[in-house]
Amino acid sequence: MTTETLRGRVALVTGGSRGIGAAIVRRLANAGVAVAINYRERTDEANTLVKSIAGIGGRAIAIAADVSQADAVAQMVQRANSELGPIDILVNNAGIAITRGVDDLREGDFDRTIAVNLKSVFLCMQAVLPMMRSAKWGRIVNISSGAARGAGSIGPHYNASKAAVEGLTRGYPHAS
Q: What is the CA radius of gyration of the chain?
A: 16
125 in helix, strand or coil? helix
* Separation of CA 19 from chain center: 12
Let me know if 158 is a catalytic residue: yes
Angle CA(10)–CA(84)–CA(75) in degrees, nearest 5? 100
Given the residues 158, 159, 161, 165, the one annotated as active site: 158
CA distance 157 to 171: 21
Active site residues: 158
